[in-house]
Amino acid sequence: MSSITEKTLEVDRMEQIINVFGSFDENIRIIEDKFDVKVLNRGTELKIIGEENKANNAEKVLKGLLNLSARGESINEQNVRYIISLVDEGHEDKINSLGEDCICLTSRGKPIKTKTLGQKKYIDAIKKNVVVFGVGPAGTGKTYLAVAMAVTAFRNKEVNRIILTRPAVEAGEKLGFLPGDLQNKVDPYLRPLYDALYDMLGVETYQKYLERGMIEVAPLAYMRGRTLDDSFIILDEAQNTTPEQMKMFLTRIGFGSKAIITGDVTQVDLPRGKRSGLKEAIKVLKNIEGIEFSYLTDRDVVRHPLVQRIIKAYDKYDEEMENRER
């Protein structure tokens, strides 16, 4: 058995310690339970008591969290568990790259930053390529980060327009039963895109750009027959496109444009027997220059940690069902 050791961390500001400890010390309890150590607060000092190896790892996690806190990040359970996983894998050297770059500011001045290494790779891919496929489960920030990059490009005058689109596929519900005209019927499908734009631009600014035609949020069917130059185009929920729709969308891209396609191949709502355009594109376009596929996993989920556990449970169930069918 390793000998018991005591580690001491000096902290610049008390606010950092409060942030890292979390409400009712919930963040610290996660670290204590994981590494079987005791973390004590003595003014602007943190003391870690436990077996040497475990205390060393707890110290690495705490240093990473304190660095994030020093950059103005709010520490929550997701941050804590993600940094613990990096330390477990021996990747503590990559912790400092988290939250390094500010992608853009929301209308309230809040910085939008990457929270995982997967998200950082995704953003780097968008910066370097004309077409990027962001593929991964719900809650990984695929759409939100893509919209943030679109707003940044628009504000920097790199593009003249932002175009956001989605296939209006009925996920167990019928469009015809919804009240109103066609726009009213498809608006619920586009709501997540509106929400992201409202958050980053504010409602008034969004409405102003919408009226001027600088921002367009529309169903995928509206893209047919157009060539989109100098635009930042985002196709969301791409798993619900047919192969024909995907090809139609990709061939709309004009000069000076960038296209981001996001989707989750495990959540296809197409009628039985219809192939997913996203699944096919992954096979067809994997070696095309200028196109990059960025894969996010349950580890990149930045919603409530329960979402991560739900995704894992469904993945496990799907795998078991596939094995039975074989």
Query: How many angstroms from the chain centroid is the CA of residue 143?
Result: 7
In CATH terms, the fold of domain 4-97 is: Ribosomal Protein S8; Chain: A, domain 1 (3.30.1370)
Q: Token pair of 158, please? A: 């790199």
Beta carbons of 37 and 66 less than 8 angstroms apart: no
> Which range (70-74, 229-233, 296-300) has the least confidence?
70-74
What's the pTM?
A: 0.81
Mean pLDDT to the nearest integer, 320-326? 77
4-97 and 103-325 share one fold: no
CA pair distance 237, 171, nearest whole angstrom: 12
Confidence of residue 1 (pLDDT cuts 50, 70, 90): low
Residue predicted with more confidence, 320 or 303: 320
Higher pLDDT, 184 or 232: 232
Tens digits of residue pLDDT in 260-306 = 999 999 888 888 888 999 999 999 998 899 999 999 988 888 776 77
Mean pLDDT of 238-246: 93
**Residue 172: predicted pLDDT:** 38
pLDDT band at 223 (very low <50, low <70, confident <90, very high): confident
Please count the CA atoms within 13 angstroms of the CA of 28 that sit on its side-chain side: 20
Residue 169's pLDDT band (cuts 50, 70, 90): low
Q: Quick check: 175 pLDDT over 50?
A: no
More confident position, 256 or 217: 256
180 pLDDT band, cuts 50/70/90, is low
Return the pLDDT at 156: 95
Q: Where is pLDDT greater, at 254 or 170?
A: 254
Q: What is the pLDDT of residue 129?
A: 96
Query: Is the Cβ–Cβ distance between 21 and 28 less than 8 Å?
Result: yes
Residue spans of the domains in the chain: they are: 4-97, 103-325
Start-to-end Cα distance in the chain:
47
Helix (H, G, I), strand (E, B) or coil at 157: coil
Q: For residues 77 and 30, is the Cβ–Cβ distance under 8 A? A: yes
Span 167-181, average pLDDT? 51
**62-66, 110-114, 119-123, 134-138: which has the minimum mean pLDDT?**
110-114
Q: Select from 315, 209, 220, 312 the least CA-distant residue to 261.
A: 220
pLDDT band at 173 (very low <50, low <70, confident <90, very high): very low
Q: What is the CATH number of domain 103-325?
A: 3.40.50.300
Angle between helices 26-35 and 52-70 (to 10 degrees): 150
